[in-house]
Amino acid sequence: MNGHSNLLNWILWMPMIGVLVVLLLPRNKEGVIRYTALINSIITFALSIVLYMKFDPTTPGMQEYFKVLHPWISQFNINYSLGVDGISLPMIVLTSLLCVLCVLCSWTISKSVKAYFALFLFLQSTVFGVFMSLDFFLFYVYWEVMLIPMFFLIGIWGGENREYAAVKFFLYTFFGSVLMLVGMVALYFVSADNPSIGQNTFDILALSGGKFTDLSLRIFGVDISFAKFFFVMMFIGFAIKVPVFPFHTWLPHAHVQAPTAISVILAGVLLKMGTYGFLRIAFPIFPQASVYFADAIAWLGLINVVYGALCAMAQTDVKKLIAYSSVSHMGFVMLGLAAMTVQGMNGAVLQMFNHGTSTAMMFLLVGILYERSHHRWIVRPDGTKGYGGLYTQLPKYSIVFIIAMFASMGLPGLSGFISEALIFLGIYQKYTTITVIALLGLLIGAAYLLWMFKRMFFGEVLDDCKSYTDMNAREIFYMSPLIIAVIVFGIYPSPILDVMKVSVGNLVSLLAKFN
């Protein structure tokens, strides 16, 4: 394919156009604002589908056809450079899809609608920015700017403890990105001395490929490998976002307090930014260090899986339970990354996508239920049941819930299975013990979901639940794309695997050189 396309620019700035339009609309025209946001996100989604269609799955690395490169701050060799490859494409499509659904599920927001949708579209744009940037500086800017709308969206439209959650989320991620900043700046200064780069640069592609293996640092009189030191820094930065075990505690707070749509974006997209950071930055730039720390990453991933699952089992708040299940599922992604085999990596990227759809379903469903019941207790703090007999009361809702739940626990035929099977196949080749324990995590994963389902859905209908109405047309409408995605990609995953396998394979072969 010759020529050049500005499609990435369009996708990136389309939500920003939406922000402008929303801001120009009068505050009391709420309907118009909602429809503007919806139409805008649908256009963005359509553009991302066009991107998917035009994408050439045989090219490893960044696609020349879509590359966008303009000097931004030329004094420091910072460029506005965007690109797409097989790893970022599924994420872009996922983001644009989820944003459409989130706009629909935010229909019932009534508190300053204008500001909400403006911030939401702004958030969407920044997330695209993270997934598209090829310049580390640009990446960092988007990574940071993303926090601002998120902070307000949680802090203003959240639950009863929202300020705490928002501040916690902000500080946590900010801490991580500061570490990342250190790494970024260090790379910038070191890059000029590297013969194969030759100038100070933030260009991710130029930096990647394991060019900093021989450097060392002297800190407090101890020689430390440059790559290892800054890999750890970046690891923490990304790990907070994933979140990997010791840094996971922002997640339950943020997920529980955030409004439904924001929980969906948080779990569906933002967590993937962490693992995307590994795939795009940490692994390609420091392949040797990645291989060196693979064991540690695998163990951390394992802890995530088991710890998240065990904690989830004890939760009595549905949303918190699902938040912990996200911790557990992202652990699988970490395991796949740590495997550094073709199956594991592909499985990890696929799991990123699949977790995005299945967990989005779960959060949307909890949001639907919350709109009816205004609480989220499976078991209230005083020991009585919060829900009961929902199966009888809400039949359609229950069917969708079953699909989401089984997709989340990896039932074959639904999307979670293939990615998890690939991850396990990848990790088993390297770490047998870890695999066996992680599979136990899978078992617990089924346990807490089924137990929750049993407590909420079976049995006689509680008196409180008798007033709940079943899903309305709008809710069914925005659930249906996810249902279709979960089933179709469970049966036929090739549409996603085909676009990413070459890019992922490229990364795996890079890592294999240092193995």
Partner 1 sequence: MEYTLGSILPIVLGPFLAFAVNVFLVKRWTKLGVFLSCFGMFVSLFYSFRIFKDFVFGKYSTDYYVHKVFTWFDLKAAGISDFAVDMGIYLDNMSAVMLFMVAGCAFLIHIFSTYYMAEDKRFGRFFVYLSLFTTGMLGLVLSDNLLSVFIFWELMGFCSYSLIGFYYEKEGAGNASMKAFMTTRIGDVFFLVGILAIWTTVGSVRFTDIYAAISSGAFDGLTAVGIPLATFAAFSIFMGTIGKSAQFPLQVWLPDAMWGPTPCSALIHAATMVAAGVYLSLRMYPLMELGGITTFIAYIGAITAFGAATIALVQTDIKAVLAYSTISQLGYMVLGIGVGAYNAAFMHLITHAVFKACLFLSAGSVIHSLHDHHTHAHVQEMPRMGGLRKKMPLTFLAMLCCTFAIAGFPLFSGFVSKDRILGDALVMASHSKAYWIPAFLGFTAALLTAFYMFRMMFLTFFGEPRDKDLYDHTHVEKLSWNRNVPLLILTVFTLGAWYSGNFFGAWVKVPGVEHKEWFATLIEKPHVEKFKAYKSLPFGSVDTGADRVFEESHYDPDHGMSKEEAHHVHLIHNIGAWASIVIALSGWFIAFMMYSKRSWNPGRWVNTFSGWYRALQNKYYFDDLYVKGVLQRGLLPFNNLLARFDMGVYDKYAIDGWEAVNRFFYRIARWVDNVIVDSIGVDGTGASVRFFNVILRTFQNGKIQFYFIVFLFVMVGYIWKLV
* Candidate ranges 123-131, 295-303, 376-384, 451-459; the one touching partner 1 (CB under 8 A): 451-459
Q: Does 458 bind partner 1 (CB under 8 A)?
A: yes
Q: Shortest distance, CB of residue 392 to partner 1, whole angstroms?
A: 6
Nearer to partner 1, 129 or 274 (CB): 274
Binding flags for partner 1, 464-493, as an x/- string (CB under 8 A): ----------------------------xx
Give 443: exposed, middle or buried? Use CB within 10 Å, 0-12, 13-18, 19+. Answer: exposed
- In the list 432, 472, 480, 515, the residue contacting partner 1 (rule: CB under 8 A) is 432
- How many Å apart are CA 385 and CA 398, to the nearest integer? 18
Count of Cβ atoms closer than 10 Å to residue 392 Cβ = 15
Query: For residue 61, what are the CA distances in angstroms to 222, 469, 509?
Result: 37, 49, 12
CB distance 477 to 302 below 8 Å: no
Residues in region 136-155 near partner 1 by CB under 8 A:
none
- Cβ burial of 464 (10 Å; 0-12, 13-18, 19+) is middle
| CB nearer partner 1, residue 71 or residue 246 | 246
Q: Which two tokens stand for residue 410?
A: 């990896």
**Which span sits near partner 1 by CB under 8 A: 90-98, 121-129, 225-233, 432-440?**
432-440
- CA-to-CA distance for 52 and 346, rounded, in angstroms? 18
Closest contact distance (angstroms) between CB of 221 and partner 1 is 25
- 462 makes contact with partner 1 (CB under 8 A): no
Q: Does 440 bind partner 1 (CB under 8 A)?
A: yes
Token pair of 7, please?
Answer: 């499609």
- 113-132 vs 147-157: helix crossing angle, rounded to 10: 150
Binding map of partner 1 across residues 316-355, x = CB under 8 A, - = no contact: --------x-----------------xx--x---------
d(CA 90, CA 81): 19
Q: How far is the CB of 494 from partner 1 (least distance, A)?
A: 5
Q: Check binding of 358 to partner 1 (CB under 8 A).
A: no
Cα Rg, the chain, nearest whole Å: 22
Minimal distance in Å, beta carbon 253 to partner 1? 8
Alpha-carbon distance 433 to 11, whole Å?
A: 44
Nearest distance in Å: CB 411, partner 1: 6
Tokens of 192: 């000029």
Question: Is 314 among the residues that bind partner 1 (CB under 8 A)?
Answer: yes
Is 68 within 8 Å of 83 (Cβ atoms)? yes
Out of 10, 151, 370, 451, the residue judged to bind partner 1 by CB under 8 A:
451
H helices within 133-161, ranges in order? Answer: 136-145, 147-157
Options 79, 177, 288, 435; binder of partner 1; rule CB under 8 A: 435
> Cis before residue 259, ω within 30 degrees of 0?
no
Contact between 249 and partner 1 per CB under 8 A? yes
Residue with Cβ nearer partner 1 (15 or 426) = 426
- Residue 429 makes contact with partner 1 by CB under 8 A: yes
Q: Report yes or no: 410 and 420 within 8 Å, Cβ to Cβ.
A: yes
Closest to 271 (Cα-Cα) out of 94, 499, 104, 49: 94
- C-alpha 210/C-alpha 180 separation (Å) is 18
Beta bridge partners of 385: 379
Strand locations in 3-98, DSSP E? 68-73, 78-82
Number of residues that bind partner 1 (CB under 8 A): 61
Binding partner 1 by CB under 8 A: which of 178, 436, 484, 488? 436
Applying CB under 8 A, does 505 fall inside the site for partner 1?
yes
61 is an interface residue for partner 1 by CB under 8 A:
no
Within residues 399-428, the interface with partner 1 by CB under 8 A covers 402, 406, 411-413, 417-418, 421-422, 424-425, 428
Residues that bind partner 1 (CB under 8 A): 60, 168, 172, 249-250, 252, 307, 310-311, 313-315, 324, 342-343, 346, 389, 391-392, 402, 406, 411-413, 417-418, 421-422, 424-425, 428-429, 432-433, 435-436, 439-440, 442-443, 446-447, 450-451, 453-454, 457-460, 492-494, 497, 501-502, 504-506, 508-509
